[in-house]
Structure 1
Amino acid sequence: MNDIMKMIRFDLISVSRLTVPYVAIFAAICIIASLFSLPIGIFCIISFIMIIAPVQGINNSRCKRLYGMLPVGRSSVIKALFTEITVTMFAGELLTFLCLLLVRISSLYKILPEKLSDIAGKFPTMPDSRYEKLYLLAAAAFAFIMIVISFAQMRSEIRNMEAAIRELIILVAVFAAAATFISVMIYNGKLRALKEILLPPTSAGKWLLIAVLNAVTLAAAYLLCTVTVKKASDKEL
């Protein structure tokens, strides 16, 4: 555990001046915009992963040899990378939820210019059943991006980044095709049972689905990390 924490600290120090200030500025902008009922905070899920983007670049380049000079095992390096991905993505999701809450409860949009106020005012006055779909959308985006990035990390560690990208393109294409098919079927009034699962009609149902999405996502990330450690921990850094 100490080696994992050392690697996380090392990575954060390495990128602290490269990405953290910019992500922090973007997060501040999102919070301020949320106070005026502008929901751009939903992009925090994507922005937070940028904190460790340089680490991913180092890990998948010739600079990776730098890790071989550190007094830690490869398994600790892998676990640290997956932990960084999980923590930054989860923090982005939580900040998105906070921004959506601020959008809902704030009334500062009333001091904005008339046209902008009319646009921003639609979100605090939106029916609960519709507004809660934004939370569900954020949770779904977290699940999808988290699993995709974790899968890419696993394949790049076991094989290489080029193979990971090829497999990732195939995976995303299959997912897009399946999502399109399901969406068309639901739009045509079919798969009603599936629609109620994907879009629960009640608030309790939506929040239960959000909890399930998060639990499944974290479990998938842990499983992918475990497989990566098992398959790649003996490879030379």
Structure 2
Amino acid sequence: MNRICQKTGLALIEGPLTAYRVAKESYGPLNPQERGSLDEDRAGWYRFDTAGRTLYAAADPESAFIEALSWARMTHGHRTYLAKTARFMGLPVGQLRRIVEEEWSANSSMVPGWIPANWREGRLLYTLEFGAGWWIDIAHAATLTVLNQSIGRDLHAEGVLPESLTLSEVTGGDRRSTTLLASYLREQVLDDGSYPLGIRFPSKHGSAGAGHGHCHAFWMRRRDVGLDDDPVRVSHAQGIAVNLPAYQTALKMHGIQSR
């Protein structure tokens, strides 16, 4: 159910919901890295991190793997560099890539465009169940209007955002702006007296099918104050077989090879 908050003007989406997260088994799915103050360098933060802990999950298994594997994709820059080097050395691109993979693997390094088997063996696909509450739909026009009117002008004056805040900025890669926007949204009190659970946002990598492609950033408010009853639980965990359909979908979208 979607609605517009009568107090804040934000577009809201009702929980509970089921979501998916790929995480290291040894670390667990409910232990995101704790962030400090907004005064620190936030270049290494995730998109909607705020001070405290922010848990990310996807609306479907395909999107969970697409997000989790995005770092390993073979980008245009990687391909161009390999092609230039191969021409310089007089080697076929495929042969040079195999040489690079062998050298990186020998040094226990991850190779762009290739996932080793031990990446899967150390991780699980978790199914998470979130409790009742409201998520902010950051891609909705109403939410963008609120952000423009409330914080957009100040961020523009500080040189962080362009004059008009659009979907491109709120879902972009500039952590100076997205983390500030998230911090503002986290503190909004909704018309039912509650705080939002977090943000629903579209994946920047696109959708793997109809109804797919949405992700959620959940603020672990209770954990941040020393409690352990945040409205999220693990309902299922499964190993990542090399032929798991959702895993294979993500590999194909990113052009990644797996062993």
Range of TM-score over shorter length? under 0.3
TM-score w.r.t. length of structure 2: 0.24
Report which structure shows greater RCO (CA 8 Å, sep ≥6).
2
TM-score w.r.t. length of structure 1: 0.26
